[in-house]
A = this chain, B = another copy of it.
């Protein structure tokens, strides 16, 4: 076993260790007064109860798939599936456990100063980030080490490849449930609570008289923290695995095949280190610019990563390598491909900040449109959401072209891997958002002075942007990595078709035509293309139903207990949490199964009217179709939602329209902005982000379908 693989595992462990040490230090911070602790305890309890039930439900689906994986593919795939699923679940659980402890401490710290609030919130985000990156690296590298060094399988053997792909599938499956379930919970609470509270009863957000407030805060933790952590874990794991699979295919039988398979792991490992270093540079300067403080850390990570990636690539790859297709790749070309990945990350951060930040045209245009009413607010928000897809898509296009010109498909894979290498830092930027959102809620409910809420609001506004950044980053990596996953699919197919003795299902198959002139390719593109739309529709409806159940419950409590409005009676927070828990878990099942079953349905349907080669062509095109529309659907939803949320915040701080009139909290413009925010909620926190794991699942199910057909255990 290569020493470098040990180092990678050590880097993964370092990420986890960083998380543990920081957690210990975080726990020492003050938790404020009794009232704050009481509220925080209710949130903790609700979040834990929800996640336990969610994971219990997922486990039932998981066991079915585990049994299927065992019998249809083999034991190593089954074990890989378990590792991916369990670690992804753990990443989510850890994210939740941290954030429900950091929220109250952040509220307390923010009551001392904005800088202290930022420091604490960001630190908690960094813990989650390093748990995610470190844990994913540990899982992939560890299982790879077990399979190769431990069990003695060839690195390019089916056992290793199927095992790693199944690990990715486990992670993806958990993450789509977690994203969706958490997303439905959090936005059901948020939307429902706002509808009754802000709009009907005219009480502020997070007012303790609103029975949905605790549920809303629970939602931030189970959706924006746990769901997000599971999602990024999945993205990280799947991308690394896909690059390793591509390396195994491209460099099979070359002396440096093991090195090339190690390369993505090594890049990720070194970037865990640069992310940890960068996290120490997030500090609020004299200008009190929160985004500036975060940028500082991100830039340090980015600059260090340039050097680190250069070092690790030139160390591992000492001379030109040649792919099995005859392409000669220089080490420096691989390094430049890595740079492309970092540049794409930087561009997505900047573009997302432009579209969702409070100081730029898009958000201000939505705020301005709110002055004319609810309708124009929503129209402008939708317009911004549609427009916001163009620049990220162009960035991804340039990224694909540049890295392909440098080092072919493997160049694209390295760019994508390096992009995800810094995921620890990106998650850190994201996870601090919901913590500050929660801190604001606790401050409001505990009746802390309004300056505290002002500080947490300022942090939360930046959090809206960074949350959108992470989602754009995750889906962007899916776009950049589209060709990698597709190449894994086509290369697997080529390999099986070339060895019909070993894989009889593929014997005598006609050549597969992936050309756009093949109508079945167009059929696949359209079928794949409809999935993100249908999925988006289903998940939005789920949020609507969950929110309506909350609205009914809060209205009932107001009606049956008039004392709630006069602060004499405490609302039954637990009932709202219970209702949502049931709703979210029920609603997450069907949409999550859509991407699991669709590839199988398409394949069988086309096979039944045509031949194997045509069915594989349609299935491959479907993988591309789901990315072509999914990329735009996801970016438009996440950026648009962020813009709506911050437009509302801009008005709450007092927005001066072009006629010089100031609109603040409670104004008609504010009401319109609340409507937009409500619409943006499921857009940005349920449907949009869940598209990313959805894309991955369709791709991985296709790869596993090949593995099943190749195993010869069916058909």
Contact = CB atoms under 8 A, between A and B. Distances in A.
A165 to B, nearest CB: 19
A628 interface: yes
Contacts of A674: 375
Contacts of A625: 628
A390 interface: yes
A382 B199 CA distance: 20
B540 A383 contact: yes
A537 interface: yes
A624 B525 contact: yes
B533 A400 contact: no
A89 interface: no
A379 B631 contact: no
A372 B548 contact: yes
B675 A387 contact: no
Given A515-B514, A628-B625, A386 B533 contact: yes
A contact face: mostly helix, strand, loop, or mixed: helix
Contact of A378 (B372, B378, B405): B378
Nearest to A187: B379
B372 A195 contact: yes
A445 to B, nearest CB: 22
Interface in A381-405: 382-390, 393-394, 396-397, 400-401, 404-405
A620 B521 CA distance: 14
A678 B624 contact: no
Interface stretch (A51-59, A432-440, A479-487): A479-487
B526 A631 contact: yes
Given A376-B547, A544-B379, A551-B372, A386 B632 contact: no
Interface string A344-383: 0000000000000000000001000100111110111011
A590 B151 CA distance: 63
Interface string A496-527: 00000000000000000111110111110111
A561 B133 CA distance: 65
A579 interface: no
Interface string A402-424: 00110001001000000000000
Contact of A529 (B376, B538, B541, B631): B631
Contacts of A384: 537, 541
Given A387-B537, A393-B530, A675-B675, 10 more contacts: A200-B373, A365-B541, A369-B544, A378-B675, A384-B541, A386-B533, A390-B533, A401-B519, A404-B519, A525-B525
A401 B523 contact: yes
Contacts of A394: 527, 530
